[in-house]
Amino acid sequence: MPIYLDNAATSHPKPESVYRAVDHALREIGTSPGRGGYRRGLDATRIVFGARESLAALFGIKDSARLAFTSSATEALNLAIAGMLRPGDHAVTTTMEHNSVSRPLRMAEKRGASITRIPCDRSGFLNPRDLASALRADTRLIVITHCSNVTGTIQPIAEVGHLANQAGVPLLVDAAQSAGIIPINVESMGIALLAAPGHKGLLGPQGTGCLYIAEGLELPPLVVGGTGGHSSGEEQPEEMPARFESGTLNTPGIAGLQAGVEFILGTGIETIRKKELSLVRQLLAGLAEIKGITLYGPASEKERGGIVSFTVEGKDPAMVGFTLDHEFGIEVRTGLHCAPGAHRTIGTYPTGTIRVSPGWFTTEHEIEVFLKGMDEILRHATS
């Protein structure tokens, strides 16, 4: 079996309960939530409600109705950014963002908004003082990734949230690499908008995600149409979550997502984080001993999510990834990871890095096999 070390893209494998939940929703439920008063229709509605409640418990959200399901974190980020920024508005972000933040912001800029991109240091860290200095009277949004998908750098979200609240500016957090892995509490961290994918750290299937919208924020929907209720009116419903959930929801995916979140809640996110830190520590220590490898991101594993990026002197990252796959059966990610600004920040543009991202089901033995593979690649390169 191949050794899978690309959990930052999609977690694999999933807990067995996730597979069972998806299969049950497809085979035994088979219908849409909110579209029928018969028993299976009500069962589908209960699946969606249960998943919303589980996510609210994980993120410290008091009212689960403030969570809207989306097809991905990308959709959630587009919904938040397009909804918050109008021509003449100002937003603040960083140079470490994924394209799922950068591109919607660029679109908003083309429509008349102005964007300040705060440079981060070579380890990927934002200085909150720089953010505070960038705020203006017309600032309507702060957008920041919680954990970099390139370096694993964990940003000081609680400190940024405090600054945002003091300034009266909503904070949108991209939790693509942190949800389900790093503890998040929207209330204590001052998060007004939280975008998360279902298929990464939340251990759910692809095609799932969510957006939390704090009480008092009003956003226009990206898509309007049938919501399963309010059928008599031509206007889109005002109340959440129906306002942002037009069309048939991905009930099997949401069932799997709930099972993934319940697995996290049952295991304990601190337990998950502890294992992640152990694997990252093993990776950093092992790669540091191999001559010709340059590591990127924070030196301390405690300041990282489950991501380690590196380059090999004199070797294209893509060729290293190809060799790992074809000669050792090890699957990693190479290139720019959809975050060119982050690579410019850390000095790895345009070739990118080799990215290793273990997950909950990764073993220490698999990390050791990977390290031996990298050592062999480097020894062959110098022989």
Q: How far is residue 79 CA from its own chain's centroid?
A: 15
Confidence of residue 82 (pLDDT cuts 50, 70, 90): very high
Mean pLDDT, rounded, for 317-330: 97
Question: In whole numbers, what is the pLDDT of the chain averaged over residues?
Answer: 95
Is there a catalytic annotation at residue 338?
yes
In tens, the pLDDT along 177-193 reads 999 999 999 999 999 99
pLDDT reading at 271 higher than 60: yes
Distance CA 264, CA 160 (A): 26
Q: For the structural domain made of 3-12+269-382, what CATH number should be given? A: 3.90.1150.10
Distance CA 267, CA 181 (A): 11
Q: Are strands 308-312 and 353-356 parallel, antiparallel or unpaired?
A: antiparallel
Mean pLDDT, rounded, for 288-307: 94
Distance CA 197, CA 180 (A): 10
Q: Per-domain residue ranges for the chain?
A: 3-12+269-382, 16-267
pLDDT at 232: 67
The dihedral through the CA atoms of 106, 238, 252, 5 has a sign that is positive
For 220, half-sphere exposure in the C-beta direction (CA atoms, 13 angstrom radius) is 7
Distance CA 341, CA 102 (A): 9
Distance CA 377, CA 181 (A): 31
Around Cβ 153, how many Cβ atoms within 10 Å? 28
pLDDT at 179: 98
pLDDT at 383: 47
8 A C-beta contact, residue 90 and residue 138? yes
Distance CA 164, CA 240 (A): 24
Tell me the one-letter amino acid at 363. T
| pTM (2 d.p.) | 0.96
Mean pLDDT, rounded, for 127-134: 97
Q: From the candidates 120, 147, 210, 338, give the one annotated as an active-site residue.
A: 338
CATH entry 3.40.640.10 includes domain 16-267: yes
In tens, the pLDDT along 347-368 reads 999 999 999 999 999 999 999 9
Q: Helix (H) and strand (E) counts for the chain? A: 12, 13
Paired tokens of 368: 């050791």
In tens, the pLDDT along 136-155 reads 999 999 999 999 999 999 99
